[in-house]
C-alpha cells in the first residue's frame, strides 16, 4: 500500500476524500523563481495530478540563495528555470505530470495554457503579467492566488471569481515605483512565508473547502515583526472591467501589453507602457541607487550596470540599451522598474 500521502490524509480537513480530489487537479504556476520553485515543490509533494510551469528566465548564481529547486550545476549550465525545475520535481514525485514551458507568457499563450486548469498560482515579478492572470482567471472562472515578496516583506491574496474583488478592483492602474529583488534584495524566509500562505490556500481550493479560504489580504514584514490582514469586501467594483457586471477583460486585449520597438541602427529597445502613468523620478532614483550608477535630471533617469543601461522617462517610457532582443529588454525593464 502506498503511504506517500498518509500524513496529509490524517489531517482531517483533507482526509482521503480530499487527497483524491488533489490527485485529480491541475495547477498553472506562472513564474519559476523563488515563489514558483517553492510552491511547485510543495504541490508536487502534495500529489496534484499536473503542474504546468511557465517562465522565461534561466538559473543564475544570484538565484541560489532563495530558489530552492536549483543547484550550482543548473547555474553553471544556465539551464532554463522550468527545465531545471521539471528535472528536480520529477525526482521528488514521479506520479505528478510536470509540463515545462520556456516562454514569456503573453495573451495568446495564456489562453492556450488555461485549458483544464483548476488553479493559477502567481509567482511573477510584474503587474503586467498579474493583471493578465487576473483577467484570465475571471474569464474562465478559475481561482488564483496572488503573492509577492521583496526584502523582508511579503503579501498574499486569494481571488475566487464571483466572490469579492479581483486584482483590478484593487488597482486603478499598473503600479509604478515598486521595489524589486534586484533593487532592494530579499531574504529567503520572506519567500518561505509567502509560499506557506499561498500553498495553504491552494490546498483549500484543491480539496474544494472554499469556506476555509481567506478573504483578506495578508501582509507582513519579518524584519520589523509586523503583520496585517485587511478585509477587501468593500473594494469590489460593480463597474470593474475585469469582474464587474459587464466585463471586457482589458488585459486580455493586445493593446494592454507593453509596446516594444527595436530602434533602427542602435543596440536599443524602446518600451512603452500600455497605460499612461507618471513616474516619480526622485523616488525611483532612491530605489535604484544600489543597482548601478544612477543619474537624474528633471526629465529622465539613467541607471547603468555592467551589461545594460536603462533610461527612464517621466511618462514611463524606457530605452533599454545593450540589447536588440525585446524579450530580454522587457525582463530588464521589469527587474529595474518592478
Please give the pLDDT value at position 145: 98
Nearest Cα neighbor of 241 from 232, 233, 250 is 250
CATH 3.30.310.10 domain residues, the chain: 258-337
CATH 3.40.50.720 domain residues, the chain: 6-252
pTM of the model: 0.82
Rounded to whole angstroms, how far apart are CA atoms 84 and 97? Answer: 15
- By CB atoms closer than 10 A (0-12, 13-18, 19+), residue 228 is exposed
| Three cell numbers, residue 165 | 474583488
Within 10 Å of residue 33's Cβ, how many Cβ atoms? 20
Cell 495554457 found at = 113
Please give the pLDDT value at position 286: 83
Nearest Cα neighbor of 37 from 76, 80, 81 is 81
User: For 270, how many CA atoms within 13 A lie in the half-sphere containing its CB?
Assistant: 12
Rounded to whole angstroms, how far apart are CA atoms 80 and 321? Answer: 24
Question: What is the dotted CATH code of the domain comprising 258-337?
Answer: 3.30.310.10
| Three cell numbers, residue 336 | 529595474
- By CB atoms closer than 10 A (0-12, 13-18, 19+), residue 112 is exposed
Please give the pLDDT value at position 1: 47
Rounded to whole angstroms, how far apart are CA atoms 243 and 139? Answer: 8
300-304 vs 293-296, strand pairing mode: antiparallel
Please give the pLDDT value at position 338: 64
Please give the pLDDT value at position 329: 87
Nearest Cα neighbor of 336 from 314, 312, 315 is 312
Tell me which residues of the chain have a pLDDT lower than 70. Answer: 1, 172-178, 182, 264-265, 275-277, 338
Within 10 Å of residue 262's Cβ, how many Cβ atoms? 15
| Three cell numbers, residue 44 | 508536487
Query: Which helix or strand (DSSP H or E) is residue 39 part of?
Result: helix 34-46
Nearest Cα neighbor of 279 from 179, 178, 177, 182 is 177
| Three cell numbers, residue 79 | 539551464
| Three cell numbers, residue 84 | 531545471
Going across the sheet that includes 119-122, the strands are 97-102, 50-55, 26-30, 119-122, 144-150, 153-159, 216-221, 226-231
Please give the pLDDT value at position 287: 78
Looking at 3.20.20.10, 3.40.50.720, 3.10.180.10, 3.20.20.150, the CATH number of the domain 6-252 comes to 3.40.50.720
216-221 vs 226-231, strand pairing mode: antiparallel
Strands, E assignment, 222-299 = 226-231, 259-262, 268-272, 293-296
Amino acid at each position: 500500500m502506498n503511504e506517500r500521502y498518509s500524513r496529509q490524509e490524517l489531517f482531517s480537513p483533507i482526509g482521503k476524500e480530499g487527497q483524491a480530489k488533489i490527485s485529480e487537479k491541475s495547477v498553472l504556476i506562472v513564474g519559476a523563481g523563488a515563489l514558483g520553485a517553492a510552491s511547485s515543490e510543495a504541490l508536487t509533494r502534495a500529489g496534484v495530478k499536473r503542474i504546468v510551469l511557465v517562465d522565461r528566465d534561466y538559473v543564475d548564481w544570484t538565484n541560489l540563495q532563495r530558489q530552492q529547486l536549483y543547484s550550482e550545476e543548473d547555474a553553471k549550465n544556465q539551464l532554463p528555470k522550468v527545465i531545471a525545475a521539471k528535472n528536480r520535481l520529477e525526482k521528488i514525485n514521479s506520479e505528478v505530470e510536470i509540463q515545462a514551458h520556456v516562454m514569456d507568457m503573453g495573451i495568446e499563450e495564456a489562453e492556450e495554457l488555461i485549458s483544464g486548469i483548476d488553479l493559477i498560482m502567481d509567482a511573477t515579478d510584474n503587474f503586467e503579467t498579474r493583471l493578465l492572470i487576473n483577467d484570465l482567471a475571471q474569464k474562465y472562472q478559475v481561482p488564483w492566488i496572488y503573492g509577492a515578496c521583496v526584502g523582508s516583506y511579503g503579501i498574499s491574496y486569494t481571488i475566487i471569481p464571483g466572490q469579492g474583488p479581483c486584482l483590478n478592483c484593487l488597482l486603478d492602474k499598473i503600479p509604478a515605483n515598486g521595489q524589486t529583488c534586484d533593487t532592494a534584495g530579499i531574504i529567503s524566509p520572506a519567500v518561505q512565508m509567502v509560499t506557506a500562505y499561498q500553498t495553504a490556500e491552494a490546498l483549500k481550493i484543491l480539496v474544494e473547502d472554499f469556506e476555509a479560504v481567506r478573504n483578506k489580504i495578508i501582509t507582513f514584514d519579518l524584519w520589523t515583526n509586523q503583520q496585517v490582514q485587511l478585509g477587501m469586501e468593500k473594494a469590489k467594483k460593480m463597474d470593474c472591467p475585469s469582474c464587474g457586471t459587464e466585463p471586457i477583460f482589458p488585459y486580455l486585449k493586445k493593446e494592454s501589453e507593453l509596446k516594444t520597438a527595436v530602434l533602427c541602427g542602435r543596440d536599443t529597445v524602446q518600451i512603452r507602457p500600455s497605460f499612461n502613468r507618471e513616474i516619480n523620478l526622485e523616488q525611483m532614483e532612491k530605489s535604484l541607487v544600489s543597482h548601478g550608477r544612477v543619474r537624474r535630471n528633471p526629465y529622465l533617469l539613467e541607471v547603468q550596470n555592467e551589461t545594460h543601461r536603462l533610461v527612464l522617462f517621466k511618462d514611463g517610457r524606457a530605452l533599454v540599451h545593450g540589447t536588440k532582443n525585446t524579450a530580454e529588454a522587457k525582463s530588464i525593464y521589469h527587474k529595474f522598474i518592478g
